[in-house]
Amino acid sequence: MCIRLSSLGCGILLTYPEIGIVAGVQGVLVYSLSSALPIMLFAFVGPLVRRNCPEGFVLTHWVFERFGYFAGLYLGILTILTMFLYMASELTAIQTLVQLLTGMNGLAVVIVECVVTTIYTTIGGFRTSFFTDNIQGIMMTLLLVIVSIAMGTNIQIDKSQIASSGLTGSTRLGWQLLYILPVAIASNDCFLSGFWLRTFASRNDKELMIACGIATFILFVYLTLCGFTGIIADWSNVYPGNPPQNPANAFFLIVETLPAWVVCFVLVFGVALSTAVFDSFQSAMVSSVSNDIFRNKLPDIYVRGLVVVVVIPAIFVALKSPNVLQIYLISDLISAAAMPSILLGLSPRLFFLNGFDIIVSGCGGVMTIFIFGCIYYGSASGGGSMLLLLNGLYGDDWSAFGAFVAAPVGALLFLVGSVLVRAVVYYAYAKATNTEFTMFQKPLKAPVEMNDVDRITTTDPYEYPDEESLRNKGTLAKDLSY
């Protein structure tokens, strides 16, 4: 169950209430489902990856074996970048929480959190992260239950506000999010090493399926409750406040109207949740740096030292970033461009894909976003702003939708182009050297050793099962003339 609950930091207290304010009930349900359902991806794709790479523990390990060193390094760099952005977003969230509930500068809390998590993850390793994840689920449950009861007894909804708010109807943005969010979140989850570590750590496929199913249901309930606080803030006239506040602050605007003990409770539990999720990202970062970059040849002490160094720019980005969602969107676009071609490598029919194709596809997807931005805004600077989605996810246009269409579609088009270019080059080389063109021939499996007595004949020239299975199927023939 902790496969996704490990990502429930205090950032969800900002992003999900915001969608409630902006896109209403439809937006909350779409966002919650889009966040929860991708967990089932690990239940179906996880076993495939484990069977293809039984000795692995993260997706990158399989990519190294399937596509080669450079493709693995490419995915490793993107994974580390994703972890970095998630670390920065969580620090941004905890800083915002402290500032809104106490009026104090949240920098001190951010620094203390980084120091504390670094110390105990260095000492306890990934097992400590597993332990805090279990506590994290309990804390999240208590937080939602207590705040829900406090809201039910202290917040008065203005019924006349329900109809006029327009939050119960469908919107264009709500329909756009029906495509954007599943693509963004499902592809981005594949970059999170913490999820893969837990996937590989499961005892068997059945246990993984059950855990993912439970986590999906619980996550949907939790996120829906968080999202509806934004709607309640609007219906109770707490939002937009005086002076008008950012929609992301809707949850905290409600909390400020509750008794002081509830405010203190949210503050303490919010910091604890942030700490629990931040240590998961740190542990995953250690794993990614060690395996993906240094191939487990660098001593752990140096790897952990590098992660400590990475925390410093994460704090800087957190202090400069005005919006948690903005950080998520950058990570989502990168993953939406890179992940489709990588997952296609699981298909045995696409055995001819190689590391060059994967890298070209991912880079091509990002380039397609830039090209779309240049066309949409009519300038190169517009293309740059599209890459960063500076207009946000909830703009009153088609920019965000177009960007998330351009990323996977462009990536797949570049993938096809890469395969065709390689085919032309290999074919020309085969003709020039008078050799066989084998790019689309299925590679041979390990052949059965032959002796002077038996020669194995099969109907498929590219499959060499063991001798016993051939005898059982009646396909083993003796060539007496040999």
**Mean pLDDT within 41-65:** 86
Band (303; pLDDT cuts 50, 70, 90): confident
Band (444; pLDDT cuts 50, 70, 90): low
- Say if pTM beats, i.e. exceeds, 0.85: no
pLDDT of residue 129: 67
Nearest to 79 by CA among 251, 256, 335, 290: 335
Let me know: does 93 contact 284? Beta carbons within 8 Å.
no
482 pLDDT more than 70: no
If you average pLDDT over each of 27-31, 106-110, 316-320, 453-457, which comes out highest? 27-31
What whole-number distance in Å separates Cα of residue 390 and Cα of residue 397?
13
Let me know: does 136 contact 207? Beta carbons within 8 Å.
no
pLDDT per residue as tens digits for the range 304-338: 777 778 888 888 888 776 677 777 788 889 999 99
Let me know: does 361 contact 412? Beta carbons within 8 Å.
yes
Band (474; pLDDT cuts 50, 70, 90): very low
What whole-number distance in Å separates Cα of residue 303 and Cα of residue 121?
13
Let me know: does 417 contact 363? Beta carbons within 8 Å.
no
Percent of the chain whose pLDDT exceeds 90: 31
pLDDT of residue 476: 41
Let me know: does 463 contact 351? Beta carbons within 8 Å.
no
pLDDT per residue as tens digits for the range 233-258: 999 989 887 788 888 889 999 998 99
Let me know: does 377 contact 369? Beta carbons within 8 Å.
no
pLDDT of residue 405: 95
What whole-number distance in Å separates Cα of residue 157 and Cα of residue 180?
31
pLDDT of residue 8: 67
Return the sign of the alpha-carbon dihedral for residues 63, 66, 67, 70: positive
462 pLDDT more than 80: no
Residue 44 is which amino acid? F
Task: Report the run of H or E that residue 477 belongs to, with start and end.
Answer: none
Return the domain boundaries, the chain.
2-331, 347-442, 444-482
What whole-number distance in Å separates Cα of residue 375 and Cα of residue 243?
38
pLDDT per residue as tens digits for the range 360-392: 999 999 999 999 999 999 999 889 889 888 877
If you average pLDDT over each of 25-39, 412-426, 432-446, which comes out highest? 412-426
352 pLDDT more than 80: yes
User: Can you read off the two tokens belonging to residue 187?
Assistant: 């592809």
**Mean pLDDT within 1-7:** 46
Superfamily of domain 2-331: Sodium/glucose cotransporter (1.20.1730.10)
User: Can you read off the two tokens belonging to residue 408?
Assistant: 């996977």
Nearest to 60 by CA among 279, 384, 390, 285: 285
If you average pLDDT over each of 168-172, 269-273, 337-341, which comes out highest? 337-341
> Between 284 and 416, whose confidence is greater?
416
117 pLDDT more than 80: yes
366 SS3 class: helix
> Between 296 and 383, whose confidence is greater?
383
pLDDT of residue 402: 93
Band (149; pLDDT cuts 50, 70, 90): very high
What whole-number distance in Å separates Cα of residue 315 and Cα of residue 95?
10
Nearest to 331 by CA among 11, 2, 6: 11
